[in-house]
Amino acid sequence: MAPIRPSAHLADVRYEIRGALTRRARELEAAGLDIIKLNIGNPGRYGFATPAHLREAIAAHLGDSEAYGHEQGLEAAREAIAAQQRARGAQGVEVERIFIGNGVSELIDLALRALLQPGDEVLLPSPDYPLWSAATILNDGTPRYYRCLAENAHLPDPDEIEALVTPRTRALVLINPNNPTGAVYPRGLLERLVAVAARHRLLLLCDEIYDEILYDGAVFQPLAAVAGELPALSFGGLSKVHRACGYRVGWMSLSGDPARSRDYRDALQLLAALRLCANVTAQWAVMPALESAPTIHALTAPGGRLHEARRKVIEGVAASDYLDLVPPAGALYAFPSVRADRIATFDDNAFALRLLEEEHVLVVPGSSFNVPASRHLRLTLLPPPEQLREVFVRMERVLERMAAG
């Protein structure tokens, strides 16, 4: 019998955060080795607990979770999300323009599926969170990458973005605070990006899943507040800020003049209905999550575990002969690079494999984030800060060996 052939759609789809290196790390673990894993932004795996009041809300509502719910999500949860968005200055946000999904991951696909015709183009950051590229390709779109270079503090250049616009461009994707770079976009930059979207009638898609994870006084500016009447979809969720990745709850909120996005909203609702509803049980955690101050601030403030982890990474880079870093202003990652004056020809994939095989540390090579020939690596800030110190000792040993040839 002929082998079963997978869809050709998948030919250009990658997700290296859980790719070949991770599979190799599992083999090494099965062989009895201890691997320090810095590859996934999954707080629950590193001893971070979901706040008790979220858990308690779910437990209290188990009996109300057994039937399918509304395709867009629990009304009370959507009320809480709409209230958050309005308080942030978003216009035109009502419960019927909020969609709750099984994580932001499901909604990224849904938002692009409702938008794209074959050959439509989507402006994506490079580096990106690779699901954005994958979902664009799987929905017959074409990614067009704008660069977020370390030389520019990993911020995008609105002129470069505008130069990429063609008659086929439909949407501009922003990730703020950014995974993998940790950049947090200032308001002036968002205003210029919104102006580009307005001139070319692009839908703004803003992944704000790290919205409350900020360091050293960085300020998060919600895109919807800047976009005003322009249609914008803002994404948020429980996974990161509320350390509840396993609950699989994310949301998106459609802001701007409702008349300009009515048909698109209806398309989103149809797609949401086709998958019936998101996990009802976990949606009960949305109200307590949004109706009290985010508990993550205690972890990002001086003395907090994430703050200390970030400090260890900055110290590790400062002590290194080989590494550079734009310190992350937000999110759960650092994105250091290897200096060209110390190692002229650097292959990030080869380095990550050596680091795993020789020193038992798992990181994600920068090229996994749709950057050609990257000199970067992504590390999560989630391990205990002391372990991060050890990670830098081990990385330095491999870099020394590579520099020695």
**Residues near ligand PLP (CB under 6 A):** 41, 103-105, 129, 175, 179, 207, 209, 237, 239, 245, 250
Say if CB 242 and CB 212 are below 8 A apart. Answer: no
* Nearer residue to ligand PLP within complex by CB, 92 or 250: 250
Residue among 215 and 322 whose Cβ is closer to ligand PLP: 215
Give the rounded distance of the alpha carbon of 308 from its chain centre: 22
Q: How far is the CB of 179 from ligand PLP (least distance, A)?
A: 4
The least distance separating ligand PLP from the CB of residue 398, rounded to whole angstroms, comes to 26
In degrees and rounded to multiples of 5, residue 34 shows phi and psi of -90, 120
- Judged by CB, which is closer to ligand PLP: 122, or 338? 122
Minimum distance from residue 339 beta carbon to ligand PLP (Å): 27
Minimal distance, residue 207 CB to ligand PLP, in Å = 5
CB of 124 to ligand PLP, least distance (A): 12
Q: Let me know: does 208 contact 224? Beta carbons within 8 Å.
A: no
Distances (CA, A) of 314 to 103, 320, 336, 352: 31, 10, 9, 20
Select 129 or 335, whichever has its Cβ closest to ligand PLP.
129
Q: How far is the CB of 402 from ligand PLP (least distance, A)?
A: 29
Helix intervals (H) in 280-384:
280-283, 286-290, 297-300, 305-319, 348-359
Nearer to ligand PLP by C-beta: 174 or 402? 174
Q: What's the token pair of residue 346?
A: 């650097």
| End-to-end CA separation in angstroms for the chain | 49
Q: Cβ contacts of residue 353 below 8 Å, gap of 6+?
A: 21, 24
Give 103 or 222: the residue with its C-beta nearer to ligand PLP.
103
Q: How far is the CB of 100 from ligand PLP (least distance, A)?
A: 11
By beta-carbon distance, which residue lies closest to ligand PLP? Answer: 103
Query: Looking at beta carbons only, is 39 or 320 nearer to ligand PLP?
Result: 39
Nearest to 109 by CA among 257, 219, 239, 274: 274
How far is 180 from 274, CA to CA, in rounded Å?
32
Residue given tokens 């971070």 in the structure block = 48
How distant is the alpha carbon of residue 251 from its chain centre?
Answer: 13
